[in-house]
């Protein structure tokens, strides 16, 4: 099968178009013929080696963390799916590889594709929607009437997180440039701050939850707007010793993560704020709950651009540029 791979970690090199063996289908797996694949900043971070400490992959590696397609084969223990089912998924870490014609995925990480959206729209959903779900539903346990600040509202995670937070009954503030205001108003944001000419920390106070997706400076500013007992949940780091425990990392990784997160953890503790790092996990059951919201029209995919399979490197460069509103998708079939 054809696929885009990396042979070594590199900041400058592109992905290589290669012929790869079709993946093995284990007893609990489904083989998916890939129709479309979402592109994420995570793909870029893995390509450069930024995550090799917490995600040590064997190279060569096929990148890609989002898929929509059709099941062509099922393992002997598979109960939930059959050949011909249209599905979507965020494959588990160490089993990624959606920039390819086929991928084998554990059935527990797969959900039926929402019936009211296209393959390309479906491929834009899993990673960002699961991230939003795991931050807002699982970890923050958002209650009606709470105030939530979601950074970078027009990004992949932001566009879905705003819709989910509004569905949960929260008041939502976000940051964006002026050209994204119409989109974010449509998605339901209550307060949009133009980050180019206004500082959110001077405009917001007494918030219950912050979803941080930006740099260290923004993370520290976010502490200022939270009430005592509030939650600061970061998807961009720094990772914590708790996270190291969660992924069963070796002892030296725990020490490194403890050191790099000690500053923000201390500042959060002094403010009586709960700081945590979230690295989203594959979860077919949660994705099924998201399917229900999509089919009910509560969550709508936001697609910026669709690239052809041959232009996968261009798609990744576009995501790296930070200009995308919503998601970028590769059409494979």
Where do the structural domains in the chain lie, given as residue ranges? 2-125+301-331, 127-277
* 137 contacts: CB under 8 Å, gap ≥ 6: 164, 168
Give domain 127-277's CATH architecture. Answer: 3-Layer(aba) Sandwich (3.40)
**Dist. CA 90–CA 280, nearest whole Å:** 10
How far, CA to CA in Å, does 201 sit from each of 165, 219, 228, 276?
20, 11, 16, 20
CATH code of the domain made up of 2-125+301-331: 3.90.180.10
How far, CA to CA in Å, does 122 sit from each of 114, 128, 221, 310?
7, 11, 34, 20
Q: Please name the helix (run of DSSP H) or strand (run of DSSP E) that holds residue 186, with its range, or none.
A: helix 181-187
- Say what the pLDDT of residue 246 is: 93
Give all strands of the β-sheet with 2-6 in edge-to-edge order. Answer: 16-19, 2-6, 61-62
- Say what the pLDDT of residue 13 is: 86
What is the residue-level pLDDT of the chain in tens, covering all 333 positions?
A: 999 999 999 998 899 999 999 999 999 999 999 999 999 999 999 999 999 988 999 999 999 999 999 999 999 999 999 999 999 999 999 999 999 999 999 999 999 999 999 999 999 999 999 999 999 999 999 999 999 999 999 999 999 999 999 999 999 999 999 999 999 999 999 999 999 999 999 999 999 999 999 999 999 999 999 999 999 999 999 999 999 999 999 999 999 999 999 999 999 999 999 999 999 999 999 999 999 999 999 999 999 999 999 999 999 999 999 999 999 999 999
**Dist. CA 85–CA 259, nearest whole Å:** 47
Q: Please name the helix (run of DSSP H) or strand (run of DSSP E) that holds residue 13, with its range, or none.
A: none
- Say what the pLDDT of residue 121 is: 98
- Say what the pLDDT of residue 294 is: 98
DSSP line for 194-232: ETTT--HHHH--SEEEEEE-S-HHHHHHHHHTEEEEEEE
Start-to-end CA span in the chain (Å): 13
295 token code pair: 């089919």
Peptide bond between residue 113 and the one before it cis (omega within 30 degrees of 0):
no
Residue 109 DSSP class: G
**Dist. CA 119–CA 56, nearest whole Å:** 30
Q: Please name the helix (run of DSSP H) or strand (run of DSSP E) that holds residue 3, with its range, or none.
A: strand 2-6
């Amino acid at each position: 099968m054809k696929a885009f791979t990396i042979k070594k970690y590199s900041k400058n090199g592109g992905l290589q178009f290669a012929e790869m063996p079709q993946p093995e289908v284990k007893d609990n797996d489904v083989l998916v013929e890939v129709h479309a694949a979402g592109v994420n900043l995570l793909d870029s971070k893995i390509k450069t080696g930024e995550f090799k400490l917490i995600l040590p992959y064997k190279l060569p590696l096929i990148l890609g963390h989002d898929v929509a397609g059709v099941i062509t084969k099922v393992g002997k223990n598979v109960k939930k799916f059959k050949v011909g089912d249209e599905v979507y998924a965020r494959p588990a870490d160490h089993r990624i590889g959606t920039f390819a014609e086929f991928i084998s995925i554990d059935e527990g990480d797969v959900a039926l594709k929402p019936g009211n959206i296209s393959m390309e729209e479906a491929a834009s959903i899993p990673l960002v929607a699961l991230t939003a779900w795991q931050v807002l539903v699982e970890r923050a346990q958002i209650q009606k009437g709470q105030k939530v600040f979601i950074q970078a509202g027009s990004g992949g995670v932001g566009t879905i997180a705003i819709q989910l937070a509004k569905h949960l009954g929260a008041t939502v503030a976000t940051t964006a440039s002026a050209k994204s205001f119409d989109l974010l108003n449509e998605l339901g944001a209550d307060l949009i701050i133009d980050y180019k000419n206004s500082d959110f920390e001077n405009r917001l106070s007494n918030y219950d939850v912050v979803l941080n997706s930006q740099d260290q400076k923004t993370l520290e500013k976010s502490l200022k707007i939270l009430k005592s007992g509030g939650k600061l949940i970061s998807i961009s780091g720094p990772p914590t010793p708790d996270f190291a425990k969660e992924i069963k990392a070796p002892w030296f990784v725990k020490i490194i993560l403890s050191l790099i997160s000690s500053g923000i953890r201390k500042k959060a503790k002094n403010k009586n704020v709960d700081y945590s790092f979230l690295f989203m996990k594959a979860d077919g059951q949660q994705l099924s709950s998201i399917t229900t919201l999509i089919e009910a029209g509560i969550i709508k995919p936001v697609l910026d651009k669709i690239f052809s399979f041959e232009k996968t490197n261009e798609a990744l460069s576009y995501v790296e540029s930070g200009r995308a509103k919503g998601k970028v998708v590769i059409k494979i079939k």
